[in-house]
Amino acid sequence: MEEILKIVDLVVKFSLRGRVLTAIRGASLTLNQGETLAIVGESGSGKSVFCKSFIGMLDNNGWVDSGHIFFEGKDMAPYTKERDWLAIRGKKIAMVFQDPMTALNPLRTVGLQIQEVIELHQRLRGGEARQRTYEILKDVGIDDVEMRYKQYPHEFSGGMRQRVVIAIAMACQARILVCDEPTTALDVTIQAQILQLIRDLQHKYNLTVIYITHDLGVVANVADRVAVMYAGDIIECGTAEEVFYNPQHPYTWALLSSLPQLGIKGEPLYSIKGTPPNLFQEIKGDAFAPRNPQALKIDFLERPPAFQVSPTHFAKTWLLDPRAPKLQPPPAIMALRAKFSEVS
């Protein structure tokens, strides 16, 4: 498998009211051509910032402090000029935004908003660009394209608007499509349709897709590989089967155990105590340790390195160190592991 994007020890910082916040704390990730990767995490875990760092969309008060972002053999980490990013953003890596209600310009027709992107990225003009717009609208499952072309966003339903947002991203003919919570604003039936649409487009155009989401149901549906983010670091990453059925990091355990689908009716759900750490302060040891009732002593002292569980699976937890005590994961996780042995 060909690596298309490789991120090594990325550190992203923001300056806020004279203080420095470390949003991404040395996260590493590789993305393979044609795969679907899901980045899961709670709000504030840094999943959106992480993705914005490799399309040059960090806010003005944020910067890549150290680390590397290799894309097509070039390191994009030192990019600071808008001109550098213009060759990447949209052209090579496009983004589908979360809320279709705000991602579209309410004052311009849907057709023109797509055509604008085609004219910019595909160097087509006039009638040709218009024809291409019709094709893209058809691609994303919109019928009656000639009428739809002339309509404004408010004449579209939520699901249809999300299709338009996807059409705009597709119009760039990018290699990587980053979808930031593409379905959270939508109903479950529509959500399923949009996920299917993205999957169809991915096959048709050989796209590599990154999903940013907190919905583990969506992740299970779409992902080939899953990366779990906590407090600005990717603490576990593996194939969907590995992360869902054989999770290693206590945070992944906690996240999965707290799902109502895995709970027993009438009994309290497993819930994570406390709050995520303050990223203004330096974090010592494992960032999840203060919320982990079974944390080891070393968790508070030293940051765990990435331990390889299988060639495709790593987790940053001291539990994987050969010297660590063998801890029993929560019951819900034990049940999942039984499933894992069935699968593999």
Number of H helices, E strands in the chain: 12, 12
Provide CB contacts within 8 A for 268, sequence distance 6+. Answer: none
State the nearest-atom distance from the C-beta of 344 to another protein, in Å.
12
Q: How far apart are CA 136 and CA 158, in angstroms?
A: 18
**Cβ–Cβ under 8 Å, residues 195 and 218:** yes
Closer of 198 and 240 to another protein (Cβ): 240
Q: Which stretch binds another protein (CB under 8 A): 9-17, 109-117, 165-173, 237-245?
A: 237-245
Nearest-angstrom CA–CA distance, 274 and 277: 9
Q: Which is nearer to another protein, 101 or 301 (CB)?
A: 101
CA angle, residues 323, 327, 331, in degrees to nearest 5: 160
Instruction: Tell me if 189 sits within 8 A of 159, measured CB to CB.
Output: no
Indicate which single residue of 217, 281, 284, 310 sits in contact with another protein (rule: CB under 8 A).
217
- DSSP string spanning 240-277? HHHHHHS--SHHHHHHHHT-GGGS-TTSPPP---S-PP
Among 57, 91, 152, 158, binds another protein (CB under 8 A): 158
Q: Does 260 bind another protein (CB under 8 A)?
A: yes
In the list 22, 53, 162, 221, the residue contacting another protein (rule: CB under 8 A) is: 221
If one asks whether residue 203 binds another protein (CB under 8 A), the answer comes out as no
Considering only residues 72-111, where is the footprint of another protein by CB under 8 A?
none
Q: Which helix (H) or strand (E) holds 137?
A: helix 126-139
266 binds another protein (CB under 8 A): yes
Q: How far apart are CA 28 and CA 151, in angstroms?
A: 43
Minimal distance in Å, beta carbon 187 to another protein? Answer: 4
- If one asks whether residue 341 binds another protein (CB under 8 A), the answer comes out as no
Select the residue interacting with another protein from 72, 144, 187, 321 (CB under 8 A).
187
Q: Are 317 and 249 in contact (CB under 8 A)?
A: yes
Between CA 198 and CA 263 the distance in angstroms is 31
Residue of 1, 18, 43, 82 interacting with another protein (CB under 8 A): 43
Minimum distance of another protein from residue 193's CB (angstroms): 8
Q: Taking a C-beta distance cutoff of 8 angstroms, is the pair 235, 201 a contact? A: no
CB of 90 vs another protein, minimal distance in Å: 30
Q: Among 100-108, 127-135, 165-173, 211-219, which window interacts with another protein (CB under 8 A)? A: 211-219
Least Å distance, CB 298 to another protein, is 24
Contact between 162 and another protein by CB under 8 A: the answer reads: no
Which residues bind to another protein, rule: CB under 8 A? 42-43, 158, 187-193, 196, 214-221, 223, 240-241, 244-245, 254-256, 258-263, 265-266, 268-272, 275, 339, 343
